[in-house]
Amino acid sequence: MNKLYEKIKDQFPMLKTQMNGKDLVYLDTAATALKPQTVIDKVTEYYTYKTCNVHRSIHQLAENVTSQYEETRDCVKKFINAKKREEIIFTKGTTESLNLLARTLGDQLLKAGDEILLSELEHHSNIVPWQLCAERTGATIKVIPLNDQGDLDLEIYSNLLSPKTKIVSVNGISNTLGTINPLEEMIPEAHKVGAYFIVDAAQMAPHGSIDVQKLDCDFLAFSAHKTFGPTGVGVLYGKENLLNELPPFQGGGDMIDSVSFEKTTYNKLPYKFEAGTPHIAGVLAFNEALKFIENTGSQNIQNYENELLIYAIEKLSKIDGLKIYGNPIKRASVLSFNIENVHTHDLASLLSMEGIAIRTGHHCTQPLMKRLGVFSTARISLSCYNNFKDIDRLCDGINKVKEILL
């Protein structure tokens, strides 16, 4: 698969830069992905030559940009295999998409005694909005636990489901352990008790293909910036009939049909949920990110990242005192670890001096940290623009840190 890397590396200008005088090794894709040149160029092109608003003016410039903007919606529809383009809502990111659901679906649906199921693997963005919703509605949150391998306990999940369960919201891939959750098993079980199933796909989108029709999830959310696109752009997918039943999330321009002081009527999907001027440059550039994935091939990306993951586990496992957390049945290219007697922040700082960028901390998964019995871990997250030499440099850097600190 080295041919794939050779095809990819020159498309990412940041890979030609240095950090602290050393060639950059970027191992923090789970936080945000690097951007191909085509994405960067599209942002520049919009602000240099095409600045205007969308869905409003009828001059040619606005009509052309609006057409390109809506083309991105069609590309997202294809990317996740949605049934209709109206099911694709643009937001600021996964966090806003999940807050939108908590404020609309949650507030409208839930009452005292109802239950929301989350998992121990969840990012704070898929916990806090539901806690706030539970406070407003009187609903209760129940938690699907992990087993010691780092997989969700599906037997306990089945036992937690009941007629009281109204919403299940679970990530497709853990941003901390890399666990790939068995959504294809979990979603039908939730539907049997009449619950809606929401997928946090922030980590799924860059690591493989998504088929919302095959999954039969009710809603799904992800962010452009983790999928080689710009920051400030996200997607909320929802089944058309369900989105039609939900009230608007925000009020303002573009989400209205007509406004009077006596009554306002709302726009049709998807615009009912897209109030105000959007991140136009970001949406246009996101199209280029999706084209990059399509041209590279989702399966090619997935296969190559799996090779990198296997190599990384093999190399890191040989380092004395290094503990990798979790050994799930299926894992994406994300690894969390600690080194005995080395603080994670010291590790990250010293690796940074070697030009190596990793993430340390709780990764916005403090309940998971508690389950693992730690306050912090080091995390590497690999992408198709990494190679085996990056992993070798990481391991050499870790050994150098150990020599300095131990």
Whole-Å CA distances, 19 to 32, 43, 265, 358, 372: 17, 25, 53, 12, 32
What is the rounded CA–CA span in Å between residue 335 and residue 258? 51
Per-residue burial over 259-292, b if 16 or more Cβ lie within 10 Å, else e, is eeeeeeebbebbbbbbbeebbbbbbbbbbbbbbb
Tell me which of 52, 133, 364, 395 is the catalytic residue.
364
- Reported as type and span, the H/E element at residue 369 is helix 366-372
The token pair at 381 is 């997250």
Return the SS3 of 148. coil
Write the single-letter amino acid at 394: L
How open is the CA angle 363-368-371, to the nearest 5 degrees?
A: 145
Residues in the chain: 406
Write the single-letter amino acid at 229: G
Cα 166 to chain centroid, rounded: 23
Write the single-letter amino acid at 183: L
- Quickly count: other Cβ atoms within 10 Å of residue 325's Cβ: 21
Cα 158 to chain centroid, rounded: 26
Classify 164 in phi/psi space as left (phi over 0), alpha (psi -120 to 50) or beta: alpha
Q: Is 384 a catalytic residue?
A: no
Q: How many CA atoms lie within 13 A of 2 on its CB side?
A: 3
DSSP state string for 299-356: HHHHHHHHHHHHHHHHHHHTSTTEEE----SSB-SEEEEEETTB-HHHHHHHHHHTTE
What is the rounded CA–CA span in Å between residue 204 and residue 109? 27
Catalytic positions, written as ranges: 364
